Amino acid sequence: MEKLLELENIHVSFQTYGGEVKAVRGVSFTLDKGESLAIVGESGSGKSVTSKSIMRLLPNKIGSIKQGSIKFQGKDLAKASEREMEKIRGAEISMIFQDPMTSLNPTMTIGKQIMEGLRKHQNMSKSEAKERSINLLKLVGIPNPELRVDEYPHQFSGGMRQRVVIAIALSCNPKVLIADEPTTALDVTIQAQILDLMRDLQDKTGTAIILITHDLGVVANLAQRVAVMYGGMIVETGTVDEIFYKPKHPYTWGLLASMPKINAESKELLAIPGTPPDLMNPPKGCPFAARCPYAMEVCLENMPEATDVSSSHKAACWLLDERAPKVEPPEEALVGGAR
Amino acid sequence: MAVVEREKLLEVKNLKKYFPAGKKGVLKAVDDVSFDIYKGETLGLVGESGCGKSTTGRTIIRLYDATDGEVFYEGDDVHDKKSRSELKKFNRKMQMIFQDPYASLNPRMTVKDIIAEGIDIHGLAKTKKDRENRVYELLETVGLNKEHANRYPHEFSGGQRQRIGIARALAVDPDFIIADEPISALDVSIQAQVVNLMMELQKERGLTYLFIAHDLSMVKHISDRVGVMYLGNIVELTTSDELYEEPLHPYTQALLSAIPVPDPELERSRERIILEGDVPSPINPPSGCRFRTRCPHAMDVCAAVKPKWQEAREGHWVACHLYDEEAVKQQN
């Protein structure tokens, strides 16, 4: 597979009154052409910050990429100038945001907002751009696109607005689409429609997707590969089957076990005790050690290296060291086929 | 199966709550809803945003005055004219936990004063020492400790704040708690902590819950029975196992099939019922059955007649013409 995007050892920090918050601490991953990668984690795990640093959308004054490279088709985006980034944003890499209510401009018609990117990046004439906008609205399943193209965002429902946002993101045929919690603000029946649409569009356009979410159900539905983030780091990565059926990291076990299974007998949920680490003073060792039921002395002192489980599956946990005791995942963490 | 006669704690009868909307419009947020809650059980109420589940909860506890209908708590009509002291007595028995742990705690009060507010109003503590001890005890019950008592809400995480909200509700020793989306603002691993805490407290204190949420898998986990709401109506109500195994109403079926399951293989093989379109506006809801505009099985009768709320099987209530023999006969 052709590597489209390659992040290497990315560190992102924010300057705040209280000190430096190390939101992302050494994240590396690759994205192949046409694949869909999910980044899962809880709030504050650094998943959104990672995606914003790819787009270079970090707040200018306080947030910065401290270290590392983001290679996109051979070019390092971490060092690109603002002018170079303008050519990439929306054209090569585009983004869908969580809240369709706030990511559209309420004073512009839907058509104008779709045309913006087309006019800028593809030098289309007004009439060409409008025609393409209507086609895009049709593609994302909006009825009567000829009429609705001249309407304003407030005339659309939440699900419809998210379809418009997707149409804008896909307008210039980007190679990478970053979807940051694209369905979190939507109701389940609308979520099902949008997930269906995204899968369908990926088949048609071959766009690679980075899906950022905290919902493991959405991951199972849409992703081929998964990276699990915790405390600003990727703690486990693998194919979707490896993560769900053969998870190796205790945090992944915890995530899987704390979700109620709708298709199984209800037992007590296995909650992860405690709260995520303070990234102002990140722990010296493994970020999960303080909440991990299997933590050993070494976990508190040293950060574990990512260990290969298979050619596609890596986990950063001392339990995978050959000197560590053998530990089996809790029964509650077993999903479907693994049970 | 022998049916044990259970004691009704709460009876909701034909409850309606309308809000004025614009010049002549009326928003029918809750339109003729009836159900019972038995002592010691958890009744889940699910539905999408705008279906009226929160309004139902808030009207039951009298945060809103009902437009019509009755709510009986142990036989007493909640919406009856009541004197201040009667209301106070009633408020002690029924408490609420809110969705947003950031907005439901007064940022200018210490945790101790937040939790003790109910204790003060109802005069449950005789001395300052007694009040303090009660607060400490409550903090420990919800998994916090007494060092937290003098802090302010902003010093806590979302999960901890929700625990404070639960401690506040427990402070007056209620029998019945309405939990309105108590976990939707929390992270997955923290959600499980709060749900486990609520289930433990129920076991220890014999509490009765009305658990309102849109997350069906969590509702199934915590509830004994579940009611499904759509556009101001309850469309189906039964035990949580039966609802998930044999949903009768087409809306329940679609809702269940729409939930993505954290199991990739199952997700790949699953046939999904994907509903067309959006929920219609509650200001001008469709005639007859309100779900008919999106229902894959809609018949002519659905537009003309509002389906009856009937017991299709023992303990399994549904409002749908598909299960009404007369309506189906008329159709053919």
- Asked if B164 contacts B197 with a C-beta cutoff of 8 angstroms, the reply is no
Nearest CB neighbour to A270, from listed B192, B220, B258: B192
- Contact assignment for B187 to A214 by CB distance below 8 Å: yes
- Contact assignment for A261 to B217 by CB distance below 8 Å: yes
Q: If phi over 0 gives left and psi between -120 and 50 gives alpha, with beta otherwise, what is residue A338?
A: alpha
Where exactly are the structural domains of chain B? Answer: 8-331
- Contact assignment for A262 to B190 by CB distance below 8 Å: no
pLDDT of residue B2: 44
Q: What percent of chain A has pLDDT over 70?
A: 97
To the nearest 10°, report the CA torsion of A315, A318, A324, A328. Answer: -50
Q: Number of helices and strands (H, E) in chain A?
A: 11, 12
How many Cβ atoms from other residues are within 10 Å of residue A335's Cβ?
24
A286-328 pLDDT tens trace: 999 999 999 999 999 999 999 999 999 999 999 999 899 988 8
Q: Is the dihedral of CA A64, A70, A73, A76 positive or negative?
A: positive
Which residues of A fall within a CB distance of 8 Å from B265?
241, 336-337
Where exactly are the structural domains of chain A? Answer: 3-223, 229-338
Burial class for A198, CB neighbours closer than 10 Å (0-12, 13-18, 19+) = buried
Closest CA to A23 of A32, A14, A15: A14
CATH class of domain segment(s) B8-331: alpha beta
Q: Name, in order, each residue with C-beta under 8 angstroms of B84's C-beta and a sequence gap of 6 or more.
A: none
B206-243 pLDDT tens trace: 999 999 998 888 899 999 999 999 999 999 999 999 99
Instruction: Share the mean pLDDT of chain A.
Output: 91
Number of CB pairs, chain A paired with chain B, less than 8 A apart: 129
- Contact assignment for A216 to B188 by CB distance below 8 Å: yes
How many Cβ atoms from other residues are within 10 Å of residue B246's Cβ?
12
Closest CA to B289 of B273, B301, B281, B272: B301
Nearest CB neighbour to A221, from listed B189, B217, B260: B260
Which residues of A fall within a CB distance of 8 Å from B214?
187-188
Residue B1 pLDDT greater than 50, yes or no: no
Minimal C-alpha gap between B79 and chain A (Å): 32
Residue A1 pLDDT greater than 90, yes or no: no
Minimal C-alpha gap between B152 and chain A (Å): 18
How many Cβ atoms from other residues are within 10 Å of residue A330's Cβ?
14
The band of B82, judged by pLDDT with boundaries at 50, 70 and 90, is confident
- Asked if A225 contacts A312 with a C-beta cutoff of 8 angstroms, the reply is yes
C-alpha span between A240 and A228 (Å, rounded): 11
A78-121 pLDDT tens trace: 999 999 999 999 999 999 988 877 889 999 999 999 999 999 99
Residue B119 pLDDT greater than 90, yes or no: yes
Q: What percent of chain A has pLDDT over 90?
A: 66
C-alpha span between A85 and A80 (Å, rounded): 6
Closest CA to A182 of A196, A174, A171, A172: A196
Least confident of A39-48, B131-140, B182-191: B182-191
Closest CA to B207 of B317, B78, B96: B96
Residue B311 pLDDT greater than 70, yes or no: yes
Q: Which residue, chain included where needed, has tokens 């004691």? A: B7
- Which residue in B53, B188, B230 has the most chain A C-beta atoms within 10 A of its own C-beta, making it the best mutation to test that interface? B188
Tell me the mean pLDDT in the region B138-154.
91
CATH architecture of A3-223: 3-Layer(aba) Sandwich (3.40)
- Contact assignment for B49 to A269 by CB distance below 8 Å: no
A123-134 pLDDT tens trace: 999 999 999 999
Give the residue on A whose Cα is nearest the Cα of B48: A187
Angle between helices B128-141 and B111-121 (to 10 degrees): 120
- Asked if B51 contacts B230 with a C-beta cutoff of 8 angstroms, the reply is yes
A68-77 pLDDT tens trace: 999 999 899 9
Alpha-helix residue ranges (DSSP H) falling in chain A: 47-55, 82-88, 110-122, 126-139, 145-148, 158-170, 188-205, 216-222, 240-245, 250-257, 297-301
- Which residue in B49, B186, B187 has the most chain A C-beta atoms within 10 A of its own C-beta, making it the best mutation to test that interface? B187
> SS3 for B189?
helix
pLDDT of residue B56: 96
- Asked if A263 contacts B261 with a C-beta cutoff of 8 angstroms, the reply is yes
Which residues of A fall within a CB distance of 8 Å from B261?
217, 220, 261-263
> How does strand B76-77 pair with strand B68-73?
antiparallel
Q: Which two tokens stand for residue A116?
A: 């913006």
C-alpha span between A15 and A47 (Å, rounded): 18
Residue A270 pLDDT greater than 90, yes or no: no
